[in-house]
């Protein structure tokens, strides 16, 4: 897919007793720059953040708060031009060898060729649940919103409010699901030219450095965990219907149509369809991977 497709988008209730507020706005208040020295910057009064990569180092940040379920939104404008070899990662993760993790990874490409959006879900330290997509727009020209909706019954990956992937809770099939470990938000920009672009065939062109990605518009309608206590934003509560049998807002009839549209036209890899990788049969959660 050498050109960006010019298509138009078909354009468990939580038992938490203490109610907090929505977290949005200042990167100074919500995040810490964690590595890369001067390569990570917060500016415009805390409304903007940038990460840069050069030959010496990349950079990254993480949230000050830990979350246990919620909707996390972030607007990103990715590295422009020849971004081959670079990876911009934006994800939720806990810590330790049995960590949980929910990933967006944006794999750079040569000028004029599309980014690959790589998604994955880890539960109790085990991942290998990849789906990959092209996007229906150029993610380097403008900011776009990338959202993770994490509930006890499923995880929804969204781009500009369009569902692209649903990972359902399949614990009844013996599949671990992230629901007990609070996670922080992380993001990083780093060099991965040993695998990121065409399996490592295309290397980073350091003459184009520094490479820079930009962030704004963070919002978390979520439940936070601190010192053993949970605080749940009422906006997140409102995205649940009155019981698990009800359809969540993101997956109403229109949302399911948009999900099918993305998966039909833009999905380029699905581990649940990889017969070479799973010759003895697909993982059990693949039975519930479609909406």
The residues annotated with a catalytic role in the active site are 101, 105
Cβ atoms of residues 40 and 52 within 8 Å: yes
DSSP H or E run through 60: strand 59-63
Cβ atoms of residues 267 and 132 within 8 Å: yes
* Pick from 164, 134, 146: nearest CA to 268: 134
Would you state the structure tokens that stand for residue 241, as one six-digit string? 């219907």
In 135-266 the beta strands, taken as DSSP E runs, fall at 144-151, 154-159, 162-168, 184-191, 211-226, 229-232
Distance of alpha carbon 235 from alpha carbon 149, whole angstroms: 13
Cβ atoms of residues 250 and 158 within 8 Å: yes
Distance of alpha carbon 54 from alpha carbon 189, whole angstroms: 10
* Pick from 133, 131, 156, 132: nearest CA to 251: 156
Cβ atoms of residues 133 and 262 within 8 Å: yes
């Amino acid at each position: 897919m050498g050109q960006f497709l010019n298509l138009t988008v078909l354009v468990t209730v939580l038992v938490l007793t203490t109610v907090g507020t929505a977290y949005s706005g200042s990167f100074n208040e919500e995040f810490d720059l964690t590595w890369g020295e001067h390569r990570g910057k917060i500016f415009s009064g805390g409304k903007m953040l940038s990460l840069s990569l050069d030959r010496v180092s990349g950079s990254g940040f993480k949230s000050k708060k830990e979350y246990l379920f919620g909707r996390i939104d972030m607007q990103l404008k990715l590295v422009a031009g020849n971004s081959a070899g670079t990876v911009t990662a934006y994800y939720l993760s806990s810590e330790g060898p049995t960590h949980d993790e929910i990933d967006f990874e944006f794999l750079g490409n040569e000028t004029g060729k599309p980014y690959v959006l790589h998604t994955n879900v880890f539960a109790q330290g085990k991942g290998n649940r990849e789906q990959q997509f092209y996007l229906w727009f150029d993610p380097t020209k403008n900011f776009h919103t990338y959202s993770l909706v994490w509930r006890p019954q499923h995880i929804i990956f969204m781009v500009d409010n369009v569902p692209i992937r649903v990972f359902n809770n399949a614990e009844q099939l013996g599949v671990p699901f992230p629901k007990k470990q609070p996670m922080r938000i992380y993001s990083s920009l780093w060099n991965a030219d040993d695998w990121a672009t065409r399996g490592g065939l295309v290397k980073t062109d350091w003459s184009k450095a520094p490479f820079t990605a930009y962030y704004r518009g963070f919002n978390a309608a979520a439940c936070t965990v601190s010192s053993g206590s949970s605080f749940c934003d009422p906006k997140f509560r409102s995205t649940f219907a009155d019981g698990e049998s009800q359809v969540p807002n993101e997956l109403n009839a229109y949302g399911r149509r948009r999900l099918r549209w993305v998966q039909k036209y833009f999905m380029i890899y699905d581990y649940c369809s990889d017969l070479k990788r799973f010759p003895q049969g697909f993982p059990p959660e693949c039975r519930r991977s479609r909406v």
